[in-house]
Amino acid sequence: MLAERVKSWTEEWKRQGLEEGRKEGRKEGISHLLRRQLEKRFGVLPEETIDFLAKASPAELEQWGENLLDAHGLEEVFRS
């Protein structure tokens, strides 16, 4: 019974780790793509903007990606 429980815990930890890794990977992918798009549109980004992107949530990154479509300047991308 203990061996079964240990196996169950191990499988659960592995599943949680994989899910966490997928979420982080998606966030990094969105951040990387948005950074490339911003650089293509507005040129070299200030270091604080790069840090801002790295610390953003996936929801923020998606919103900024949508904002980019209508923005005339970098500041407009990050409006609420």
How many distinct structural domains can be found in the chain?
Answer: 1
pLDDT at 4: 80
pLDDT at 2 over 80: no
* Over residues 5-11, mean pLDDT: 79
The pTM of this model reads: 0.76
Mean pLDDT confidence for 21-50 = 93
pLDDT of residue 17: 82
**Separation between Cα atoms, residue 64 and residue 67, nearest integer Å:** 5
Per the model's pLDDT, the better-predicted residue between 11 and 46 turns out to be: 46
Give the best-scoring range by mean pLDDT among 1-5, 9-13, 53-57: 53-57
Residues contacting residue 78 through CB under 8 Å, at least 6 positions apart: 52, 64, 67
Residue 51's domain comprises 2-77
The C-alpha atoms of residue 10 and residue 36 are separated, in whole angstroms, by: 39
Phi/psi for 72 (5° steps) reads -100, -15
